[in-house]
Amino acid sequence: MTFLMLLRRETWEHRAIVLAPAIVAGLTTLLMLAGLVQGRGLSRDGAGLYLVQGLGLMSPERREASLTVLLTGVVPLFLLTMVIVILFYAVDALYSERRDRSILFWKSLPVTDLATVLSKLCTALLIIPLVTLVFIGLTQVLTLLLATLMVWGAEGDAWSLVWRPAPLMSLWTLALYFMVAAAVWCAPLIGWLLLASAWARKAPLLWATLPVVIGGQLELLAFGTTAVYSLVADRVIGVFRVAFRPDIKTLMQVDGDGELQAVATDRLLALIDLPGLLTAPGLWLGLAVAAVFVMLAIWLRRYRDEG
């Protein structure tokens, strides 16, 4: 109960956790609606006709592939937003309570520093991705609903053209797997941000980024190599490399002739490479490093005298 309340507390303070993906979902839906109105999507000879004819002519596999592209098209914007929200959340999580001195209020209640810091870690790693996931799902359902209206406008059969071939369950399973895999893979980055947040007396974002930039530049000057930068970059995007099969790249690719390269439904879940993720030494090494960062953050919150 206490831990759930600690998680709720984070969403009260950091309203962007819900607001940011909600705004993205709203804007996406508005854009789709605008497109629908402009293309006279609801009339018999409007854009809906192209949809009915286009999808109707396709083989079942191509139809699924097309809908996969349609439904995953909105995902990158959500992911980008999520990364920004997590970044700003994590550097603020253990800093804002010291800046406004409310830490003394929180510390006047019987909640351990361990539980407090873990609730913040959990918010960054799980709550923010899960909230994003819910809004992605909502947007995808709305997309299909709009497509349904268009198909109906052109007197087509929405079930066979849109809903049956839309691989919603597979996409959501894939997305959930991605969020969890990304969370464990990126854990050391989040741990580092939380540590900077617990450490900095001012400008935690600077404390989080400056050591990396200085280290990277020194390495570049001394050895002409970029190991530091590569290490950080791999923690940001490396989850695609370790947690998925290489075909993941084709999920949304369009080749030179405009041919869709999307993977059909039955192969969507085959993209998951769980053994690859679990046997990656980088994963376990990263988790160990993350544990050290988080323990240091807990120690700082507990024992640092705020003067």
Partner 1 sequence: MNELVHARGLVKRYGRKRALDGFDLSIGEGRIVGLIGPNGAGKTTALKALLGLTAYEGELQVLGLDPVRQRKQLMQDVCFIADVAVLPRWLRVNQALDYVATVHPRFRRERAEAFLATTEIPARARVKTLSKGMITQLHLALIMAIDARLLVLDEPTLGLDILFRKAFYTTLLNDYFDDHRTILVTTHQVEEIEYILTDVVFIDHGRAVLAEAMDTLGERYRQLIPRREHLEAARALGPLSEETSFGRHALIFEDVPQERLAPLGELRTPSISDLFVAKVGGARK
Does residue 105 belong to the site contacting partner 1 (CB under 8 A)? Answer: yes
The residue from 10, 64, 92, 97 that contacts partner 1 (CB under 8 A) is 97
User: Of 22, 79, 83, 111, which lies in the binding site for partner 1, with binding defined by CB under 8 A?
Assistant: 111
Q: Is 107 in the site for partner 1 (CB under 8 A)?
A: yes
Dihedral sign computed on CA atoms, order 266, 272, 274, 276: positive
Query: What's phi and psi for 272, nearest 5 deg?
Result: -70, 130
| Minimum CB–partner distance for residue 302 and partner 1 (Å) | 8
Our CB check for partner 1 shows the closer of 15 and 245 to be 15
CA distance 109 to 92: 21
CB of 307 to partner 1, least distance (A): 8
Cα atoms in the 13 Å half-sphere on the side-chain side of 160: 10
CB of 195 to partner 1, least distance (A): 21
7-36 positions binding partner 1, by CB under 8 A = 8-9, 12-13
With CB under 8 A as the contact rule, the residue among 108, 222, 255, 281 that binds partner 1 is 108
Residue length of the chain: 307
Q: How far apart are CA 11 and CA 13, in angstroms?
A: 5
Contacting partner 1 (CB under 8 A), which of 34, 104, 130, 203?
104
Torsion angle, alpha carbons of 114, 197, 96, 88, to 10: -110
Sign of the CA dihedral with 124 first, then 21, 175, and 212 last: negative
Q: With beta carbons less than 8 A apart as the criterion, state whether 63 and 165 touch.
A: yes
Q: Which is nearer to partner 1, 16 or 239 (CB)?
A: 16
Task: Single out the residue of 57, 59, 110, 255 in contact with partner 1 (rule: CB under 8 A).
Answer: 110
Site string for partner 1, 158-197 (x = CB under 8 A): ----------------------------------------
Task: Spell 8-39 as b/e; 16+ CB within 10 A means b.
Answer: ebbeebbebbbebbbebbeebbeebeeebeeb
> Which one among 38, 43, 53, 112 touches partner 1, defined by CB under 8 A?
112
CA-based radius of gyration for the chain: 23
| Minimum CB distance to partner 1 smaller for 13 or for 234 | 13
Beta carbon of residue 110, minimum distance to partner 1 (angstroms, whole number):
4
Q: How far is the CB of 291 from partner 1 (least distance, A)?
A: 22
Nearer to partner 1, 100 or 255 (CB): 100
Site residue total, partner 1 (CB under 8 A)? 25
In whole angstroms, the minimum distance from the beta carbon of 20 to partner 1 comes to 16
SS (H, E, C) 190-229: HHHHHHHHHHCCCCHHHHHHHHHHHHHHHHHHHHCCCHHH
- CB under 8 A: which stretch of 17-25, 41-49, 102-110, 233-241 binds partner 1? 102-110
Contact 100, 13 (CB under 8 A): no
By C-alpha distance, which of 72, 39, 102 is closest to 250?
72
Site for partner 1 in 277-296 (CB under 8 A): none
Residues forming contacts to partner 1 in the complex (CB under 8 A) are 1-2, 5-6, 8-9, 12-13, 96-97, 100-102, 104-105, 107-112, 303, 305-307
